[in-house]
Chains A and B, each alone.
Chain A
């Protein structure tokens, strides 16, 4: 059996059906890891591809992600310390003074649906809170979002604080949001900039593979 039905439930976002399917596989002796890697992530890979090609819309992708996450929660205790293969780990937040969250949330959704583990610190995140999260979570990448020219300095402060702490300095930093650009990323010492969620995914994959 190839777990195709689970993958299919992820793709169609069948939040109710997928639970019963997973129960059946577990009863038949499948391991949590097999279900995740072959069923859930297999399905999510299709979702990611279809979203990129414009065949799946955002609310459909979110439903798929929810179907996957619901059973992940159920499977985690059965993993017995084995790590789930992840495309990479990211901490993300909107900088201090800025409450715009739509773009950041969208990016998180796209990254999660492509296998990234995303820890979202929310909006109005101070430089100190970013640093603390980087030290605690040890992500591959830190993502900073700003939608206001007036909060671009807060972005700069966050990068500066993180670069000044030897235990955090090496984290890759990517920035985004309407008023920022690649030149600004260079100027403040960030590693990358992406103009939208689609290109951010590609840039993330590059950053993580370096």
Chain B
């Protein structure tokens, strides 16, 4: 097995959803799967690269099988630490997290938007992505500003317009979902323009790429193309697998976690064969199909069990940082169910030890965005970041001296220990813990109203000039060129 992915100096308290023995079983079976069943990879250059690295390739069937030695060698070259860079270096994300915490990403690929106060969804536009980027930039617990699919641009270039909108409005790292193999190069050129050129891009890449399997066990031409280009330019890969329990993977959460894990493993092997040392984030995004209705969702206990197991498989058996859906909800409307499901999932996934918590600000299973939900998710993520720190037992955390020195029936309020630690507690900016009377006097606002107020303040903040005119012009040139080429 690979070395478990963790910070050796301060092992974060994560709940063992799977035992070490179970992780071992999954890992052994993953090797058997890679060696005997293999993956369908619909991309000639990728198959040839794998073949020369020792994979057994059937070119007619486009199936590659990976011997144990190939898999193990690949897992050894995955970097133990790396950074996902941001336009503003202050927002660079270092893996493993130096404080043994996690990072948070906003939702990707949504096509609908719910304006604060509105009840009906509308289609997402470029202007929404711009506003989303500015909002995400101001929320302290949002670390990656991902974006939806704009409807008001030619759809063959929707990903390019989306990236353009986010890079010019957010100084944080973003990950990118290319929609077609022909778009990948344009996306790279666009991000390079935002940092001032190819050399700068290779040095401090402000994006990572989503590579995504066609579950089960298949990689379409786009998926392999993303990995090939990422390897060429040194773009970190987020290896995504989106199985649906009972639909495209076994109906059982563990079977699904396994399928997601082996697909992540396959992409890791592809990346390491092409460019040893390329950063890979293992990103299983687990759904469950409701066997009664056929709906596919992320919030059922079965989907959550699959997600927590997949996180631990990726992290502990494959030794990769793990990233999965943590926020979001299957609710079709923006109501309390969204908040409940998002918070439950975030809590479980954080406790499972995920390094990157995804999909903040969404409902309707990742298809609709709400800026109000993003603000609430930001708050919950802050709270969870506090929680995963855990507590270590030593005399200081115990307050041992104080415990012994405080008199019977006395309080701890005046002690030196309390004084020293009185500012340790996490402060909420959104929730209220006032008495009813105080609350009525001070504002009388409920959670929704308080969130809206924060939204209005943040939305009114003038746009910062993140990029100079030369960069903006270069980006606009890339967009134009891409549109012409792809039309």
Identify the stretch in A26-34, A78-86, A146-154 within 8 Å (CB) of chain B at 4 or more residues: A146-154
- Chain A positions within 8 Å of B291 at CB level: 57-59
B111 touches A99 (CB 8 A): no
Complex Cα–Cα for A87 and B111 (A) = 35
CB <8 Å contact, A150 and B294: no
Question: Which residue from B179, B248, B289, B367 sits with its C-beta under 8 Å from A150?
Answer: B179
> Interface 1/0s, chain B 265-295, versus A by CB < 8 A?
0000000000000000000000001011111
Neighbour of A102 across the interface among B111, B289, B367, CB < 8 A: B289
Q: List 14 A-B contacts (CB under 8 A).
A: A54-B292, A57-B292, A58-B289, A99-B214, A102-B247, A102-B294, A150-B155, A150-B156, A150-B180, A152-B155, A153-B156, A196-B293, A196-B294, A197-B294
Interface string of A41-65 (1 = CB under 8 A from B): 0000000000000100111000000
Which residues in chain A, 190-207, are within 8 Å of chain B measured between CB atoms?
196-198
Chain B residue at minimum C-beta to C-beta distance from A123: B214
Nearest A residue to B159 via CB reads A150
When chains A and B are docked, how far (Å) is the Cα of A199 from the Cα of B254?
Answer: 33
Contact B292 A178 (CB under 8 A): no
Q: Contact string, B292-317, partner A, CB cutoff 8 A, digits 1/0?
A: 11111000000000000000000000
Given contacts A102-B244, A153-B156, 12 further A-B contacts (CB under 8 A): A54-B293, A58-B289, A58-B294, A99-B214, A102-B247, A150-B149, A178-B111, A178-B367, A196-B293, A196-B294, A197-B294, A198-B293
Q: Considering the complex, which residues of chain A in the window 137-196 have a beta carbon less than 8 Å from any beta carbon of chain B?
A: 148-153, 178-179, 196
Contact of A99 with B220 at beta-carbon distance under 8 Å, contacts A58-B292, A59-B291, A197-B294 already known:
yes
Of A59, A102, A198, which contacts B296 at CB under 8 A? A102
Q: Is the CB of A149 within 8 A of B158?
A: yes
Let me know if A135 is at the binding interface, CB within 8 A: no
Contact B111 A179 (CB under 8 A): yes
| A153 in contact with B289 (CB, 8 Å) | no
For A54, list chain B residues within 8 Å (CB): 292-293
Docked complex Cα distance between A106 and B290 (Å): 12
- The chain B residue sitting closest to A56, CB to CB, is B292
Count B-side interface residues using an 8 Å CB cutoff.
22
Within 8 Å CB of B111, what residues of A? 149, 178-179
Q: Does B331 contact A (CB under 8 A)?
A: no
**Best-buried of A106, A151, A153 by chain B (most CB within 10 Å):** A106
Q: How far is the CB of B312 from chain A (nearest CB, A)?
A: 26
B14 at the interface (CB under 8 A from A): no
A150 to B159, CA, bound (A): 9
CA distance A161 to B294 in the complex (A): 31
CB distance B248 to A102 under 8 Å?
A: yes
Q: Whole-angstrom distance from the CB of B103 to the nearest CB of chain A? A: 27
Nearest A residue to B179, CB-CB: A150
Assembly CA distance A92 to B109 (angstroms) = 26
Chain A residue with Cβ nearest B214:
A99
Q: Is the Cβ of A149 less than 8 Å from the Cβ of B248? A: no
Contact with A along B380-412 (1 / 0, CB 8 A): 000000000000000000000000000000000
Contact residues in A for B247 (Cβ distance below 8 Å): 102
The reply on B151 being an interface residue by CB < 8 A is: yes
Interface string of A98-116 (1 = CB under 8 A from B): 0100110010000000000
**Set of chain B residues within 8 Å of A148, measured between Cβ atoms:** 149, 179
